[in-house]
Chains A and B, each alone.
Chain A
């Protein structure tokens, strides 16, 4: 029962959060200079033309009135119409969401594998040169932002040794008739290995660029946490039972050391999703982030609102999932 109540409370707070985000975004993009109407009209348009268009999009009303109109639309699932493409915002945004979700999840997976491996290696060979190497590697990886890693990767795998695609999400020549836009997940389910290979070839560099800084954070946090756990009595006791160092690290220490790392990884994952905006632009990857930049350049206010709300929704979902995982992995909380 309590679990159900907790989830209900979380959903309510999520709704309040999203409302707050909506208010802020709505006001800010209308207060800052730059007029969407001016972007639509050719030079030399008359004042009457401008007034007519403003009335058509509702920009002649007060911000409060505009917000109420928008909100009543949202309640019915209508997020407005994009100014630049004249298509419903909800449809546009949802068609791009799978691309960004796939990229983020692949990046997170790479980051966890890479960071976890580094942390385990650093712990296994602690107080040796190998641990110093792990520290230096993760320190360097962390001090370079993701978009610079993107450029480095383009240089390596796009120019010097061109094995991966440097732009786009999928080769246009490829014949796919999928029922969703989750190309990667669907191609895996359908066992379309040609499509998987093509998607991975496109996704590898942007995902890796996003993953490297997060991998470094995971490596540092998890290694620290593991090293502290290695001093605890139950680890020593496991050694006296005859277990080797590898078993002691992965079976005794790791399940406990993961817990403090998990929460921070959740927070960092939301930063990673934010990072997709620039990375998708860099690799011309057709996801939400790329669309967001176009929307801002075109002053496409309804589209900006829709994208920001969706991002905010993703962040709260990630936090919810992390909290649930934490309870699931920690026996002390599971029965409470």
Chain B
């Protein structure tokens, strides 16, 4: 399989020494959707941040490689790495309310980078932005381009951020829990929109979420993360019919279903958590040896 994004044995830790990611490897093939699931704190967002080069300053990559479109990102000087990432990958952020600059109009927030970094003509960039806003079903794009973020709703802003992510025709989109901050009715529309845009533009998509239900609808493959370690990597159909790792199986069982509204919530059993914890600790022992 031809990977567009390949993460090899990525180790990430706090500068104080505490490990955050433990030998994480994953592949996202061109045009494919890869889900990244795990509990809060499992480190799933950190993988996306490591790829995009936006890790918090307190974290550092201790070992491992990130290959994007056949280029080892770690081998590039900082400025060039930023440009490469900017041209080939894009982020759909978690919270649309804080991800747009409050003092700038929407138009320039989509078009400026096309002009500044990719050297487009201003008129081309503006035409492109209008086209993209149409694609994400925003009525009257010309007016929206002149608006400030505070004049638009959360759902509108997330649509704008999706449009903006696709502006430079990146071949990889990283969606970092793109619906968590939205209310349930808008969530579905946004998910459908991301899937629609991904297919139309034929991009690879790394979909970070804690919602297995979302993964089942959108992804081709997935990785399950626990305490910064990938404990299972699978194709979608196989994962939902025959999960291999006990934690995955327990996680699947814990997913609430709408078909049985009176059923009580199923927690992941403590024995499974303990066994998984042990596995992580054994990994650390092997790594330190």
Binding site for B on A (CB under 8 A): 127, 232-234, 236-244, 247, 252, 255-256, 329-332, 335
Contact = CB atoms under 8 A, between A and B. Distances in A.
Given A240-B85, A240-B86, A242-B113, A331 B101 contact: no
A330 B148 CA distance: 11
B85 A242 contact: yes
Interface in B62-119: 79, 82-83, 85-87, 89-91, 93-95, 98-104, 113, 116-117
Interface stretch (B51-59, B129-137, B223-231, B247-255): B51-59
A249 to B, nearest CB: 13
Interchain residue pairs A-B with the least CB separation, the first 6: A242-B86, A233-B99, A233-B98, A241-B113, A331-B148, A255-B103
A250 to B, nearest CB: 13
A242 B82 contact: yes
B82 A243 contact: yes
A39 to B, nearest CB: 57
Give the one of B57, B85, B103, B148 with max A CB within 10 A: B103
A335 B148 CA distance: 10
Interface string B134-165: 00000000000000101100000000010000
Nearest to B118: A242
B98 A232 contact: yes
Contacts of B91: 236-237, 240
A330 B86 contact: no
Contacts of B150: 331-332
A255 B108 CA distance: 15
Interface of B: 52-54, 57, 79, 82-83, 85-87, 89-91, 93-95, 98-104, 113, 116-117, 148, 150-151, 161
Contacts of A233: 93-95, 98-99
Nearest to B92: A237
B10 to A, nearest CB: 18
A237 B148 contact: no
Contact of B101 (A240, A244, A252): A252
B83 A242 contact: yes
A292 to B, nearest CB: 41
Contacts of A255: 101, 103-104
Contacts of A329: 103
A242 B54 contact: no
A127 B57 contact: yes
Contacts of B104: 255
A22 B65 CA distance: 73
A237 B86 contact: no
A240 B51 CA distance: 10
A127 B57 CA distance: 9
Nearest to A257: B103
Given A234-B98, A237-B91, A242 B148 contact: no
A331 B82 contact: no
A255 B98 CA distance: 15
A233 to B, nearest CB: 4
B242 to A, nearest CB: 37
B103 A330 contact: yes
16 contacts: A232-B98, A233-B99, A234-B101, A236-B93, A239-B53, A239-B54, A240-B85, A242-B83, A242-B113, A243-B86, A247-B116, A256-B101, A331-B102, A332-B102, A332-B150, A335-B151
Contacts of B148: 331-332
A71 to B, nearest CB: 46
A234 B94 CA distance: 11
A223 B85 CA distance: 28
Q: Which of A237, A244, A252 has the most chain B CB within a 10 Å cutoff? A: A237
Nearest to B117: A242
Given A256-B101, A256-B102, A331-B103, A240 B54 contact: yes
A155 to B, nearest CB: 42
Given A242-B86, A332-B150, A237 B113 contact: no
Given A127-B57, A233-B98, A242-B87, A256 B82 contact: no
Query: Quick one: which of B54, B89, B95 has the most chain A CB within 10 A?
Result: B54
A329 B102 CA distance: 11
Contacts of B83: 242
Interface centre among B102, B116, B148 (most CB of A within 10 A): B102
A59 to B, nearest CB: 57
B86 to A, nearest CB: 2
B46 to A, nearest CB: 13
A212 B98 CA distance: 36
A233 B90 CA distance: 14
A329 B148 CA distance: 13
Contacts of A335: 151
A96 B75 CA distance: 65
